[in-house]
Structure 1
Amino acid sequence: MNRPTVRREAEAKAPTTTKRMTMIEAIRDAHDVAMAADDRVVVYGEDVGYFGGVFRCTAGLQEKYGPTRCFDAPISEQGIVGTAIGMAAYGLRPVVEIQFADYMYPAYDQLVSEAARLRYRSAGDFTCPLVVRMPVGGGIFGAETHSQSPEALFTHVAGLKTVMPSNPYDAKGLLLAAIEDPDPVIFLEPKRVYNGPFDGHPDRPIVPWKNHRLAEVPTGHYVEPLGKAAVRRPGTAVTVVTYGTMVHVSLAAVSESGIDAEVIDLRTLLPLDLETITQSVQKTGRCVVVHEATLTSGFGAELVALIQRECFYHLEAPIFRVGGWDMPYPHVHEWNYFPGPERVGRALRAVVEAD
């Protein structure tokens, strides 16, 4: 069987200019750059073609690349992911969108039993260069079936890589890295920062610096390496380990509390940059882990276990976790469900004051 090959080379690997973009625009640009460089990249999902996606992340791609490169799929998440696995095994590089992460459960078996295991089941004869994009999290009044944060379900599966950017620059660079990766990548996009660092409520900006609604993003090809965290704010009193929307919430909490906290944005949950986390916690001696998902059995529990193991003799206080309530997503009370600056600030004060 003949496999497709790259038909067009990228005009330049190094970006030459930048443009101010939202995360939606940066994700759209990443698709464009990847599709222009490699004919094997195909994009599809529910409403991603003619309509351009419910959040407009694929707008214009079908018009530019045609209906064989960007197209709509039936309302069947299992079918979308299942066909993408077959395409990836054949040699294509499919990028599929699940309209909301809450909809991915019918496809979960395909991800666990097929995509994650293909390389190992075939002893390396086949790989699965597949990207599954999903909007995650609450804050847009989407109710309980449009607002979940299921990242822990993917980080538990050996063979999958899990990514969650917090800003436009990282969103483009990480998505391009994910598309070029030989293994399946789950790419989670926090909806509350799609259009800037806001929580969706007209009276509640996440952060005080509203002028950071857009970010300077290179217009050409660049990648941010999977498995490398970023220090968003240096500090000495306590380390905050977080990702996605909660990066902005944590930065706001640090600003409001006045505590000299170091804030680490994981960017990639798996593979995890444990070295950056360990260096920070060994320096500060204290740690708070923050995520939007339900607290119990969330990814924060894994982080706490790893930090405890690596930093036990440097810790001066218990590690604190801040997360969502242990209950199904409460639409009416969503602003209390997920952590805000006040709740994170209380945790920061508690861990700093602990003996």
Structure 2
Amino acid sequence: MAASQERDSSELEREAKRLKTDSCDSCDFPKNESARESPISGFETRRILRDSAREKNIFVHGKIDDQEAVVILEKTPIRQDTLPEMFKTSTLRLEMRNDIYSTYNLQPPSHLNEIKTTVICPATEKHVKKYLRQETFLIEESGDDYRNITLPYISSKSFSVQWVHNILEKRAEADRIVFEDPDAHVGFVLLPDFKWDQKQLDDLYLIAIVHRRDLKSLRSLTSEDLPLLRNIREKGQEAIQERYGVPACKLRAFLHYQPSYYHLHVHFTSLDYEAPGCGVERAHLLSDVIQNLEADSAYYWSRSLSFPLRADDALLLKFREAGKL
């Protein structure tokens, strides 16, 4: 189930980015919502799709004004800089005391007890299934499998990456961009992933999105793309060091395969953060990708790659039909 949890959590963070633009553009929620105008005040719960006591989150399916919706609630991390205020101003209720041990229920001030909330509305059936707990299978995809099964499947689907284009064209999230190299061939934009609240560095997470639109995934890369990958590694690390003071030796830079959206992007996370989707069955270190392409231009076109797929994934059905599972 580890692969499933990684894919599910990773899906959440990347989808949160997409849905912030794609979903909100299609909703009728006010741009400047106050608590009084909260879109979830009238949320009608239908079922719990998934929850995790370990990750402190819950995924809820329901309706908002007769529109299908998914609401994701996540407890925000406890920050070191808030501890003095929390200890001083919180109320405690004793639950148990035994010798030197005691446990309490701590109620901090409301501004120290936030819950990050992602609203997806109108939510499609695909969104609902995405967050529903599912059995996961590990696929080993050969180069021929990619060309005969995966690529035709991808080409037959209309996977929207309009939210990516909105970012690249500065029509959305322009104020969140940390760094940009505008070069059309080797350039990219770097911005925080929505899983990171930017209040502490332990779970630092940024995404580098390339300006080029012809690169869909790891499988698209050849040695001709090495200048792009080296540029992302070098300038991405420099920008993070300058902005956040985190050196390259404390960063993990990787690509996903399969990616959750088909526009090439690179993940930068703190090495101290066990980021969702950074497991060996899905993540490929950027430095390894560069070295592999230096050794063989067609490395990712021909070699076998493994990745997890959920039970309801249509691509899994294609592999079943081809007798590959």
Q: Quickly name the TM-score band, shorter chain normalised.
A: under 0.3
Structure of greater Rg:
2
Flag the structure with more relative contact order, 1 or 2, with Cα contacts below 8 A and sequence separation at least 6: 2
Larger % of strand: which?
Answer: 2
**TM value normalised by structure 1:** 0.25
Please report the TM-score for the alignment, with normalisation by the length of structure 2: 0.27
